[in-house]
Structure 1
Amino acid sequence: MSVFLLLFLPTAWLMDRLVVSHTYQQKHKEMNELALHFVSMIHNDTLLKMDALETMADFTRVTLFVLDSQGKVTATSKHHHEIDPVFLTEEYVRTLQAGNQLEKNITIDNVSYTLTGVPMITNGSLQGSIVILNSLTDTEEMLQSHRQILYLAVIAIMSAAAGIIYWLSRRISRPMRQMADATRAIAEGQLETRVEVLSDDEVGSLAYAINHMAEELKRYRDSRNEFIANISHELKTPVTYLEGYAQVIQQEWYETEEEKQQYIGIIADEAKRLNRIIQDLFDLTKMEEGQLSLLPEQVDMNTICQSSLLKVQHKAEQKGLQLQISAAESHPYIWGDPVRLEQIMLNLLDNAIRYTKAGDVSIRVTTGTEQIRISIIDTGQGIPPDELSNVFERFYRVEKSRSRQYGGSGLGLAIVAKLVDMHQGTIDVQSQESIGTTCTITFPRLLT
């Protein structure tokens, strides 16, 4: 409202000044034209009597003074004899004697007049001057009437503006207060709190953003709680094995050396599993904090895929699975970190082998003009359609009741998604239950 008044009131004042100035200019212009007309009448008829001038002055409602070349008043319109020509100061007379016109606003007996003087010059010689006084009483009354209308308009506009501003401020502040209350509730952990979205404007957009924030916080909290439960179990299981079998060996509760070696093997396997969980957590934390750096170079994805298959071949043979690769005909070069690219492939192949009971796991590498596509295809149990959108989330497990028997920490695919993104790539999963799953990675192709 202060800004509105700061802009509007000076504008209203300026409009009033412009109207007053224009009105006075018009009045001076009219009087000047009338004075010139009187001078013209005298020049055209040197025998023109004062009666004719007085009649003209009376008709135009002005007071007429005729001055000689010395500045002395020689004639005055009859019905205005009460006005003393004392207002004709020496300065005004000198102006007229110098052959210059005179335009002034003066006050006589608390009445405002326009003073207009025009010299009468014949053949370059000053013969006298015509001076006209015109009362501004009617003009001032008219201006006052217009000013009152302007004041009423200003008051009406200010009242309307105040009402609109009050309504708008209430309309904006009410949802803002609701959002402030909701934000405080969310900060206190009440993540089910939602703000009612009442509009499509900026306020509505803010309300939507707060609701979205609450949903994301709730999802993150639920994911975190699930992670704590999962990771606690994942860590507790190998630690329990390590503690139990270490105690068996320490107390020599075994009967044969072969049994002892079996227990030592279990301890080694569980230590590896524990180390893998910890390493996955460490890698994911560094990626999310932007602290994991890549060492990029020109990489042939045919080579990465072949070396990854060799590393998982023994695990696949133990389950009786066939491994196949369909390499690209031309060298599919990309710009990336070979160690991290192999980590992507090993994680995906490990997942495919873990969830495939029979059949085969294959890799298909194809090249396009600007992209390279790597597909990992298995004949495993598949993923339910409603679970597909969540498989790359941290700590997410498909078929949670059976996931422990397959091992893993629930972090592998989250790490894969992060590493693919760091290589400016994309990953997509297509799956059908009881038929199999296809993971497709797309990388920008490096043209050589």
Structure 2
Amino acid sequence: MVFRGIVLKLWLAIILLLIFILIALGLGLFQVVENFYYSQITTNLVSQGQEIIRLYLYDKDNFLINNQIEDLSRILNVHFLIANENGVIQVCDELTHMAPGDIINESELVNILNGNIIAKRGFHHHFDTQMLTIGFPVQVNDQINEVLLLYTPVAPFSEQFNSLKQLIYWSLLGSIVLASIMAFFLSRSLSKPLIKMNKVALGLANGDFSQRVTVKSNDEIGVLGASLNYLSEELKKSITDLSYEKEKIERILSGMSDGVISFNKLGRIIHYNPRAKELLDNCPDIQENNIIQDCKHLTQLSNLYDTILLTKEPMQSNLTVGRRLLVVKLSPLEDQDTGDLTGVIAVLYDITKEHRLEEMRKEFVANVSHELRTPISLIQGYAEALNDEMADSVEQQREFIKTISDESKHLNRMVEDLLELSRLQAEVTSIIKETVDINELVSNIKHKFKKELVEHSTEFIIEVDSQAKTVWADSFRLEQIIINLLSNSLRYSQGGLVNLNTRAVQNGVEIIFSDNGQGISEDDLPFIFERFYRIEKSRNREKGGTGLGLSIVKNLVEAHGGTINAQSKHGQGVSFIMYFPQTSAPDNNC
């Protein structure tokens, strides 16, 4: 990992730059040192040459006789000669017999005779080696008729210079190695926070907001690290807020009584709440990424969906799923910035109950109209018959009068039930609670209904638990509840059995009223406590009643702060389980 990525790139870039700089510096240094070195040698030789010329001109004859030439050559470690303007050697050391052309070429000789000092370095075929040659004009009485040439081999100087070059070379090489090591650690120190930032950034991409960059400097990298830490913190807050909002929306959607399904513009499901799947009969095709045509219950909405894509206008339709009747409202989802359609949201409302109640209401209105019309018609008919003296005998008159009286009572009972239910639902009925002896209350009711029980060949059995002898309730309303249930059972039972049981439960008493009559179908069971409901669908006034009895029972139980539930199967009787809370503490053992 160290030798990949930015570390290697930085290290190579620094090394290559340093090598380039050091090589250029070395080459320049070699040239400068070499020029400086030979410049110093040349300067020394010039000084020596001028000294030789001074000695030569000071005592020319003695200079030649006393072998001063060899002495100077040995002391100065140079070879020299003096030649005239024609290149003929006048004075020299052991370099005798050198031809004029070997001394110096004609152009250089002319240059020296013009008063210039020349210096050149190169191979000299007479010495058969590299030589440094210095030429001096010898001026006598403002005239230059002779030249002094100094020769010194380059080899001794080259060896010293080569040693110096090797020293410089190894210094440069050492500098490169040292610079490489320093560059490695420098690039690593620069890249280490970047690698850490990359790790933190990848963590952010994967949802890990706990990692942080350690900021150790105030430079650009340190500022970048601090910015990344700030970004991480802000992202964490934003994601937390978004998660909270998403969870809140999920909970709202999950708790909604309506179903919600959202589609993208391709018609694929992108979200739905549990209620939507429940309303669609738990269709297994209601899954994310499935298209609208995949679900058999939604295929009838596909045309509406296509229409919304074109019109971008909300639409509504009814949808039947099994026994449920749904209203589906489809609304377009648009991008707020561009206005482009991004999808469609469908809200499913279950109107089964409302539809059923509306049908029941219509049915009840028809039933009540019939119920009212029948007694009124009978009363009117028999009254007119009496008025027209159509009765043939006193006995027939009494029969007419009895019919009018019975129908008046039936009409009065219906009106009383309607008024009672209205008062209960308006919560204006007062409930005066006291400790009620259940066995005594029910026994009195049984006695009152002795005749009806005999007529229907029905046995009424009372079983009161020893721990639930009394209940905290309004005795008059409790009697009304039991009478309504008993009347209802007698209406639908012939030669049957009616039971009333009690049992103690936590913080209250349960009273279970059951019979073995014809029972209630599963389809009707959820609606038996609704007002205007009649178990008997035919308009049989002798059995159907007013359709208000069970609704009154439910409202009376709830007025006590209790609950009532029904359990039944068609043909197997029905059980009503009533719970009465003991807000007071009656003594059930007395």
Which range moves more in the overlay, 389-398 or 321-330? 321-330
Superposed counterparts of 1:402-441, under 5 Å: 403-441=540-578
For residues 326 and 566 of structure 2, the distance between their equivalents in structure 1, rounded to whole angstroms, comes to 31
Larger Rg belongs to:
2
User: Residue 468 of structure 2 contacts residue 502 of structure 2 at CA under 8 Å; is this kept in 1?
Assistant: no
Residue 345 of structure 1 and its aligned partner are, at CA, apart by 0.6
Tell me which residue corresponds to 2:120: none
> Per-residue displacement from partner, 1:233-270 (whole Å, max 9, x unpaired)?
11111111111112222222222222222222221111
For residues 484 and 414 of structure 2, the distance between their equivalents in structure 1, rounded to whole angstroms, comes to 13
Which letter maps to 1:422? A
- 2:498 paired with 1:361: yes
For residues 486 and 572 of structure 2, the distance between their equivalents in structure 1, rounded to whole angstroms, comes to 17
Q: Of 312, 324, 329, which aligns to 1:195?
A: 329
Superposed counterparts of 1:5-404, under 5 Å: 194-196=328-330, 208=347, 211-212=349-350, 217-330=354-467, 332-401=469-538, 403-404=540-541
Q: Going by fraction, where is helix more abundant, 1 or 2?
A: 1
User: Residue 429 of structure 1 contacts residue 439 of structure 1 at CA under 8 Å; is this kept in 2?
Assistant: yes
User: Residue 300 of structure 1 contacts residue 331 of structure 1 at CA under 8 Å; is this kept in 2?
Assistant: no
Relative to 1, partners in 2 of residues 1:317 and 1:371: Cα closer, same or farther, differing over 3 Å?
same
User: Residue 513 of structure 2 contacts residue 577 of structure 2 at CA under 8 Å; is this kept in 1?
Assistant: yes
User: Residue 537 of structure 2 contacts residue 544 of structure 2 at CA under 8 Å; is this kept in 1?
Assistant: no
> Per-residue displacement from partner, 1:175-203 (whole Å, max 9, x unpaired)?
9x967x769xxxxxxx985313899xxxx
For residues 216 and 437 of structure 1, the distance between their equivalents in structure 2, rounded to whole angstroms, comes to 22
User: Residue 178 of structure 1 contacts residue 195 of structure 1 at CA under 8 Å; is this kept in 2?
Assistant: no
User: Residue 382 of structure 1 contacts residue 436 of structure 1 at CA under 8 Å; is this kept in 2?
Assistant: yes
Structure 1's consecutive aligned runs of 4 or more residues displaced over 6 angstroms after TM superposition are none
User: Residue 360 of structure 1 contacts residue 378 of structure 1 at CA under 8 Å; is this kept in 2?
Assistant: yes
Residue 277 of structure 1 and its aligned partner are, at CA, apart by 0.6
- 2:585 paired with 1:447: yes
User: Residue 355 of structure 1 contacts residue 406 of structure 1 at CA under 8 Å; is this kept in 2?
Assistant: yes
For residues 399 and 576 of structure 2, the distance between their equivalents in structure 1, rounded to whole angstroms, comes to 37
Give the number of aligned pairs. Answer: 264
User: Residue 300 of structure 1 contacts residue 333 of structure 1 at CA under 8 Å; is this kept in 2?
Assistant: yes
Tell me which residue corresponds to 1:132: none
3-state DSSP class of the match of 2:457? coil
User: Residue 284 of structure 1 contacts residue 415 of structure 1 at CA under 8 Å; is this kept in 2?
Assistant: yes
Which letter maps to 2:330? E
User: Residue 536 of structure 2 contacts residue 544 of structure 2 at CA under 8 Å; is this kept in 1?
Assistant: no
Which letter maps to 2:585? L
Q: Please list every run of 5 or more consecutive structure 2 residues that lacks an aligned counterpart in the other structure.
A: 1-264, 266-307, 318-324, 334-344
Relative to 1, partners in 2 of residues 1:379 and 1:198: Cα closer, same or farther, differing over 3 Å?
farther
Which letter maps to 1:380? G
Residue 411 of structure 1 and its aligned partner are, at CA, apart by 0.6
For residues 402 and 360 of structure 1, the distance between their equivalents in structure 2, rounded to whole angstroms, comes to 26
User: Residue 534 of structure 2 contacts residue 545 of structure 2 at CA under 8 Å; is this kept in 1?
Assistant: no
User: Residue 530 of structure 2 contacts residue 551 of structure 2 at CA under 8 Å; is this kept in 1?
Assistant: yes
3-state DSSP class of the match of 1:211? strand
Residue 224 of structure 1 and its aligned partner are, at CA, apart by 2.4
User: Residue 379 of structure 2 contacts residue 407 of structure 2 at CA under 8 Å; is this kept in 1?
Assistant: yes
Q: Please list every run of 5 or more consecutive structure 1 residues that lacks an aligned counterpart in the other structure.
A: 1-170, 184-190, 200-205
User: Residue 313 of structure 2 contacts residue 332 of structure 2 at CA under 8 Å; is this kept in 1?
Assistant: no
For residues 178 and 288 of structure 1, the distance between their equivalents in structure 2, rounded to whole angstroms, comes to 41
User: Residue 536 of structure 2 contacts residue 543 of structure 2 at CA under 8 Å; is this kept in 1?
Assistant: no
3-state DSSP class of the match of 1:235? helix
Residue 379 of structure 1 and its aligned partner are, at CA, apart by 2.2
Identity over aligned pairs, percent: 35
If asked which structure has higher relative contact order (CA below 8 Å, sep 6+), I would say 1
For residues 239 and 385 of structure 1, the distance between their equivalents in structure 2, rounded to whole angstroms, comes to 36
User: Residue 358 of structure 1 contacts residue 379 of structure 1 at CA under 8 Å; is this kept in 2?
Assistant: no
> Per-residue displacement from partner, 1:141-175 (whole Å, max 9, x unpaired)?
xxxxxxxxxxxxxxxxxxxxxxxxxxxxxx9xx99
Residue 278 of structure 1 and its aligned partner are, at CA, apart by 0.5
